[in-house]
Amino acid sequence: MTITPMKKTILNPTTLSPPTGFSHGILTEGGRLLFLAGQTGSDERGRIVEPSDLVAQYDRAIANLDAVLRAGGGTLTDIVKLNIFVRDRGDYITKRKALGQVHRRRFGAYYPTMALFEVSALFQEDALVELEGIAVVG
């Protein structure tokens, strides 16, 4: 079997506002789709780490996504679509700088397409954030 290497082209049209912390679009060729289930800041026993710390939970949620990606032969920079669900948009905005530092430590300078949603609750009561998305692994 021949596997075609995956190619990604970041699309940020000049007719749209310049993106900050995300890409407007990513065009892929080759590779395999990996659908990533929602991951919270939970440990290997399913317990939320740092129940009142959005930044720590965000970091752990990314680590959990990374574990799934590695199991599928990929890395975080294979994510092409990332949805972020937060309990408190205001808390997210207040901590944007710290959250950005976590992102850059985990992803480097790579920014997938992203959307942020404020939700009234997540499945785990102590969860402040949940991440889910799509990766193209090549």
Span 47-70, pLDDT tens digits: 999 999 999 999 999 999 999 999
Name the H helices within the chain.
54-71, 89-94, 96-107
Tokens 């395999």 belong to which residue? 32
- The closest alpha carbon to 81, from 112, 116, 58, belongs to 112
- The closest alpha carbon to 50, from 108, 95, 83, belongs to 95
Under the banding of pLDDT at 50, 70 and 90, the label for residue 138 is confident
Decide if 104 contacts 77 (C-beta within 8 A): no
Under the banding of pLDDT at 50, 70 and 90, the label for residue 3 is low
Overall pTM surpassing 0.85 (yes/no): yes
Tell me how far apart the terminal alpha carbons of the chain are, to the nearest angstrom.
14
Check pLDDT > 80 for residue 4: no
Map out the domains of the chain with their CATH numbers: 7-13+23-137 (3.30.1330.40)
- Say how many C-beta atoms besides its own lie within 10 A of residue 20's C-beta: 8
Cα 4 from Cα 116, distance rounded (Å): 32
Decide if 49 contacts 57 (C-beta within 8 A): yes
Q: What tokens were used for 64? A: 């959990």
